[in-house]
Structure 1
């Protein structure tokens, strides 16, 4: 009896257990961002000292913090601030990196060299330290952290994309477009750049993973989100004094940061495998 195999298209759409797990995590995070604040009680920002540092119970699933606020609902509400901030940071500096790489590739050689030397200088500087300094100079707040990271994160994106654009520019379809008389700028924006963005998409997902950690770190050291914000890094900073007696005030937001970072890191790996047939299992 002949053995039939699934069509390639069906196999490409099928999800592995790991991909299904990541999808569930991302859907859960998306639900927390979309509807979490609407479902949360009004007391997530209201102090109730009489119920401070209560352990996990049926009433408070993840206990309460030093102000008597429900930790579970603060984690849920904090997903919007943490995730949207990370997505905004990565999107902003990715746009800057794309613009720099495109202008460098489409412009004259002297402009390309100038922009790439500026990019190399930006890569040589310790990004975390520069972002920390900028955030502190702008004033401790989540908005300052977003601006600081957006201004310091673009050089790597620009350098990587410029290299990919250079490689794509050597493809046969680009040579054909040049023969037809397509202008350099139109060739770059309509043909080369769209065929170079797959690498950027993979990097974008991985960068969200890293940015969640960095934003939480900036809030933890006091230059990011400030109390009484439910941002996860700020929650960890507020609960660090009670680790020995009320571990849940730190563990709950810490696990949320770790799970979110892992989910987006795995998403980047999955997208890369899906886009590169050589990495797939036969």
Structure 2
């Protein structure tokens, strides 16, 4: 009698297969990126500080104590006090809320607009593609910060207008990035197969093309978070963004620049906070690029 072997699927085998899901593979690779983990820890710390600013701040950010004007760092004022006696530590905590909100808002707006425009240009092609790309070339012809200053100056000095200005100069990067991805993906075999079985353009875009553009978008967005925070703070520093007495880091540095030689804490602590946040997002972006870019994976 011939021997018959039966292969059974065991729970252990099922669990082993589950270990290779994309999410688990991503987490496993991310754990190996030490610099990315450091960046993520920095971001988490500042998000927690911003969320708990109301509990952690010893004073309201706008409360003035003239008797404590330009008070050096001490137990009463951990990071010192500014010229109006406002606690610098409290203002930095609330400034973290503003900086993280501005970075996230601008990146979401720019990425959404750029993804939509880039998808249309790459998928439809023809004169639509040419017209859209020539418009993006116009934006790239100007230094982004100078163009943002011009737009913010025309709209009027305010934090909201600064966000609009930075978003307007940021979307072309995403449009070009997504267009390039769509041009490659639209002629792939799996897209042609979906079209052959009757899947419409909307289904192809939503189910087959756009999901495959998320990796480079995520990497670009993580880098842009830091750049956006710097850009908005820069506009606030020169008077085009947030206005005093808003506890925004760029405003705080601008207000303390006249005292930088003697009252160093007025500019040092907001600058260090900005440096740490931007560095955190850049480190995470580096790690995501190494993980998600197949050309860098060995």
Judge conservation of contact 2:31–2:37 (CA < 8 Å) in 1.
Answer: no
1:153 to partner: Cα distance: 1.2
Kindly provide the CA deviation profile for residues 167-192 of structure 1, in whole angstroms up to 9, marking residues without a partner as x. Answer: 12232211211222322333123211
In the alignment, does 2:294 pair up with 1:239?
no
Judge conservation of contact 2:252–2:267 (CA < 8 Å) in 1.
Answer: yes
Q: Which runs of 5+ in 2 are unaligned?
A: 1-18
Alignment of 1:181-260 (within 5 A): 181-260=198-277
CA distance in 1, matches of 2:145, 2:35: 31
CA distance in 2, matches of 1:140, 1:39: 30
Out of 132, 145, 149, the residue aligned to residue 115 of structure 1 is 132
Judge conservation of contact 1:216–1:234 (CA < 8 Å) in 2.
Answer: yes
Q: TM-score of the superposition, structure 2-length normalised?
A: 0.86
> 2:15 maps to which residue?
none
CA distance in 2, matches of 1:118, 1:11: 41
1:108 to partner: Cα distance: 5.2
1:37 to partner: Cα distance: 3.2
1:33 to partner: Cα distance: 2.1
Moved more, 111-120 or 201-210: 111-120
> 1:168 maps to which residue?
185
Out of 44, 47, 67, the residue aligned to residue 64 of structure 2 is 47
1:198 to partner: Cα distance: 0.8
> 2:89 maps to which residue?
72
1:138 to partner: Cα distance: 1.3
CA distance in 2, matches of 1:241, 1:103: 50
Which structure has more RCO (C-alpha within 8 Å, separation ≥ 6)?
Answer: 2
Describe the SS at the equivalent of 1:45. coil
> 2:6 maps to which residue?
none
Out of 93, 103, 111, the residue aligned to residue 110 of structure 2 is 93
CA distance in 2, matches of 1:190, 1:128: 36
Q: Which structure: larger Rg?
A: 2
Describe the SS at the equivalent of 1:21. helix
Judge conservation of contact 2:159–2:241 (CA < 8 Å) in 1.
Answer: yes
1:13 to partner: Cα distance: 5.7
1:38 to partner: Cα distance: 4.4
Describe the SS at the equivalent of 2:108. helix
1:14 to partner: Cα distance: 3.1
In the alignment, does 2:280 pair up with 1:263?
yes
1:15 to partner: Cα distance: 4.5
Q: TM-score of the superposition, structure 1-length normalised?
A: 0.91
Out of 140, 150, 156, the residue aligned to residue 139 of structure 1 is 156
1:21 to partner: Cα distance: 1.8
1:70 to partner: Cα distance: 1.0
Cα root mean square deviation, aligned: 1.9
Judge conservation of contact 2:62–2:245 (CA < 8 Å) in 1.
Answer: yes
Change (3 A) 1:15 1:30: farther
